[in-house]
Structure 1
Amino acid sequence: MDFHSKLQTTWTDIITTYRPGVVELVANAIVQTIGFVIPAAIYMLIDVVFPRFSQRHKIQAYRRQPTRQQILHCVKISLFNHLLVLALHGVMLYMKGFEHSFIISDAPIPSLTTFVGDFVFALLAREVSFYYVHRALHHPSIYAYVHKMHHRYITPVAFAAEYAHPVEHILANVLPIALPLYLKGAHALTLLAFVAFELWEAAADHSGYDFLKLPPAELHDLHHEKFRVNYGTIGLMDWIHGTDTVGWDRPKGDKAN
């Protein structure tokens, strides 16, 4: 029996044993933990367990790193946002009835071709939607009330990926990831896999390290340092709009180095 068949058998056992809404909620909690909380904690532990390695590979100067108190505050708010999303998800499923699910879970699992196609679609949809939401959050009439909170960490750490105003967390961190595949009608496993990937990417982008080079954390780290640059996630929309260079919004000849 190949991997696809084994996965199909396991998934069928799960959805026939438990109510669809329960499967969706529990799966979301597991994905949040595996995709973000554990990787973010590992990135944070590098500072403690491998301090010399940490100092060599930090993108920004070690003296600029947040204090222990600031990091603990960041972790607390980040975890609160995760619990908030889970609670809202649970309330929505409760109102709908746990016999039902918001995502497609009872169909055969997708083929590899379908999975890859949906994954690429989601990557592009997330890049486009996040870019414009993020640019909007930087508008002067909005920034001070919502997005300024996220930029408290000029030198980010992994948990800072979810350190945000609850409104921003929903609009910028949750919907651009989950909504495109939901509207497309993708299978639950595809959606869960993509959410896990994006959560890990968010932790890596904010980790302050770029020793893996994928994702290129330097791009978003520079955004936290300089603010008005690199609004997207993979760099595509910034390249299209020319916002991938510090000083893009200044007159020619007056760009920062």
Structure 2
Amino acid sequence: MDLHSSLQTAWTGIITTYRPGTIELAGSIMSQIIGFIIPATLYMSIDTLFPNFSQGHKIQAARRQPTRQQVQHCVRVTLFNHVWIVTLHAVLVYFKGLEHTTLNLNPTIPPWTTFITDFIFALLAREISFYYVHRALHHPSIYTYIHKMHHKYTAPVSFAAEYAHPIEHLLANVLPITLPLYLKGAHYLSILFFAVFELWEAAADHSGYDFLKLPPAELHDLHHEKFRVNYGTIGLMDWIHGTDVVGWDREKGKGKKKV
């Protein structure tokens, strides 16, 4: 039995055993644990388990790294953001009823080509939507009240990926990942797979280590260090808008440093 057939068998067992609302909510919780909490914890553990490796691969200097108390605070706030999003989802599921769902829980899972197409579509949609939301959050009239919280950690750690104001967490972290595929009517498994990937990418981008090349953590690490550079996730929108260089917003004629 090939992988697709095995997945189909497992999916058939799930949808015939559990109610739609239960599947929807359980998938949301599991994707956050598997995609973010476990990887973020592993990245954070490198400091303790492999201190020499950690010191050799940290992108920013030791003096810029957050203290233990700051890291603990970061973890608490990030876990709170996960909890309130799950709670909101649970409330929506409750009012809809466990027998109903607005998601595509088709008993037949799509072919690999559809999974790949959905992934590429979602990746581009997330890059575009996140870029413009992120740029808006850097506007002076908004930054102080919302996005400044996320930039508390100029040398980020993995859990800092979702250390954010609740409004930012919803608009920048949750909706750009989930909404495009939902509006497309993609299968729930496509949404879950993409969510797990993006949650891992967020943890990796904020890990603070240079050994991660895909995604290249240096790009977003530089954003936390310099603030006004690299607003996107994969670099496409920054390349289009010219925001992939430090000093893009200065007067012409001043030196620029290519990222």
Could you say which TM-score interval applies, normalised by the shorter chain?
A: over 0.9
- 1:236 aligns to 2:236 (yes or no): yes
- CA deviation digits over 1:53-78, x for unaligned, max 9? 00000011122100000000000000
What is the one-letter code of the residue matched to 1:187? H
Report what 2:47 is aligned to: 47
2:164 is equivalent to residue 127 of structure 1? no
1:175 and 1:207 mapped to 2: Cα distance? 22
Please give the alpha-carbon distance, in whole angstroms, between the structure 1 residues aligned to 2:240 and 2:93: 39
The answer (yes or no) to whether the contact 1:107–1:187 under 8 Å persists in 2 is: no
Quote how far apart the aligned CAs of 1:117 are. 0.4
Residue segments in structure 1 that go unaligned for 5+ positions in a row: none
Tell me how far 1:255 sits from its aligned partner. Answer: 3.4
Bigger drift between 36-45 and 205-214 goes to: 205-214
Runs of 5+ consecutive residues of structure 2 not aligned to the other structure? none
Instruction: Assess if the C-alpha contact under 8 Å between 2:74 and 2:160 holds in 1.
Output: yes
Question: How far off is 1:115 after superposition?
Answer: 0.4
Equivalences for 1:51-200 in 2 at 5 Å?
51-200=51-200
Asked if 2 retains the 8 angstrom alpha-carbon contact of 1:36 and 1:200, the reply is yes
CA distance, structure 1, for counterparts of residue 132 and residue 183 of structure 2: 19
Question: Is the Cα–Cα contact under 8 Å of residues 204 and 212 in structure 2 kept in the other structure?
Answer: no
- Cα distance in 2 for partners of 1:210, 1:121 equals 28
Separation in 2 of the partners of 1:206 and 1:124? 20
Q: TM-score, normalised by structure 2?
A: 0.98
What is the CA-CA distance between 1:256 and the residue it aligns to? 5.0
Under a length normalisation based on structure 1, what TM-score does the superposition of the two structures give? 0.98
The root-mean-square deviation of aligned C-alpha atoms, in Å, is 0.8
Could you list the per-position Cα deviations for residues 208-254 of structure 1 after superposition, in whole angstroms to 9, with x for gaps in the alignment?
01202110010000000000000000000000000000000001222
Tell me the distance in 2 between the aligned counterparts of 1:256 and 1:164. 30
User: How many residues are matched?
Assistant: 257
| Aligned partner of residue 142 in structure 1, secondary structure | helix
Find the aligned partners of 1:32 and 1:102 in 2 and give their Cα distance: 20
Q: CA deviation at 1:103?
A: 1.3
Whole-angstrom distance in 1 between the partners of 2:93 and 2:134: 29
- Runs of 4+ in structure 1 over 6 Å off: none
2:201 aligns with 201
Alignment-derived partner of residue 17 in structure 1: 17
Aligned partner of residue 108 in structure 1, secondary structure: coil
Contact 2:156 2:221 (C-alpha < 8 Å) held by counterparts: yes
Is the CA contact (8 Å cut-off) linking 2:59 and 2:218 kept in structure 1? Answer: yes
Give the whole-Å Cα distance in 1 for the aligned partners of 2:78 and 2:129. 22
Shift of 1:48: 0.5
